[in-house]
Homo-oligomer: A and B are copies of this chain.
């Protein structure tokens, strides 16, 4: 079982997306050069990434259906990952309604909320249950993945209940650092942090445009 680095894993969904688009256009093979251009990397990096995933054919490229399948396999898209979601706010509801997840094998079985008025509602065919039942249901259904979309203040407690219920991984959308046993996998997802990166690049660009065009910037350090 080959172990892929985080850097490679982050590119796999991009490759997948591009291969799928080419397939829809009727292509059967694609070269490393074409994939590389869309990701803004060197073609040799694409070839290196694909070593151990799929063997390419000199003069032809990589076979799209075979490569798609292999990527699906590596990313666990061919399995079903059952998860519970906690926090039926707008972000939670967006995740419940996100079609793309199906492709990635994510199946959210139920949503939990503490708001009485939300209990019993069906959101994208998923029932909202009281958060008091979270630990119990997690255990009974042997759920591995918990998704946290509650407000920051409530996140730690929810995480603890999920851990007590036996989850092995937490996908955390609340902007807090969760304290959980080291064996529990935590992935922090921050939409705001993503925006910050865009905002930084934009500021740099705006600053560049405001400068004399000879490329010599007035640097300011402290």
**Chain A residues proximal to chain B, CB less than 8 Å:** 1-4, 6, 9-10, 12-14, 17-18, 21, 38, 52, 74-77, 79, 81, 89-91, 93-98, 100-101, 103-106, 124, 144-145, 168-169, 171, 175-177, 185, 187-207, 217, 219-222
- Sample 26 A-B pairs with CB under 8 A, ordered by A number: A1-B219, A1-B220, A3-B204, A9-B196, A14-B193, A21-B177, A52-B222, A75-B200, A81-B199, A90-B93, A90-B98, A91-B97, A93-B94, A95-B191, A100-B190, A100-B191, A101-B192, A101-B195, A104-B196, A106-B192, A144-B202, A145-B198, A168-B202, A169-B201, A169-B202, A185-B201
Task: Output the least CB separation between A136 and chain B (Å).
Answer: 22
List 7 other contacts, CB 8 Å, given A90-B97, A103-B192.
A14-B188, A38-B177, A90-B98, A95-B191, A98-B192, A171-B198, A189-B194
- A52 pairs with B202, CB closer than 8 A: no
**B187 touching A197 by the CB < 8 A rule?**
yes
Nearest CB in chain B to that of A218: its residue? B1
Q: Are A9 and B90 in contact (CB under 8 A)?
A: no
A177:B17 contact, CB within 8 angstroms: yes
Smallest CB gap from A77: residue in B:
B196
Contacts of A77 in B (CB 8 A): 196
Nearest-CB distance from A83 to chain B (Å)? 9
Of chain B, the residue at the smallest CB distance from A81 is B199
Task: Name the one of B91, B98, B100, B207 contacting A98, with C-beta atoms under 8 angstroms.
Answer: B91
**Which residues of the other chain, B, contact A98 by a CB distance below 8 angstroms?**
90-91, 191-192
Say yes or no: A185-B198 contact (C-beta < 8 A), given A93-B94, A94-B90, A100-B175: yes
- A74 — nearest CB in chain B belongs to which residue? B200
Whether A104 and B192, one on each chain, are in contact in the complex, defined by CB atoms closer than 8 angstroms, is yes
Note all chain B residues with C-beta closer than 8 A to A18: 177
Q: What residue in chain B is nearest A91 (Cβ atoms)? A: B94
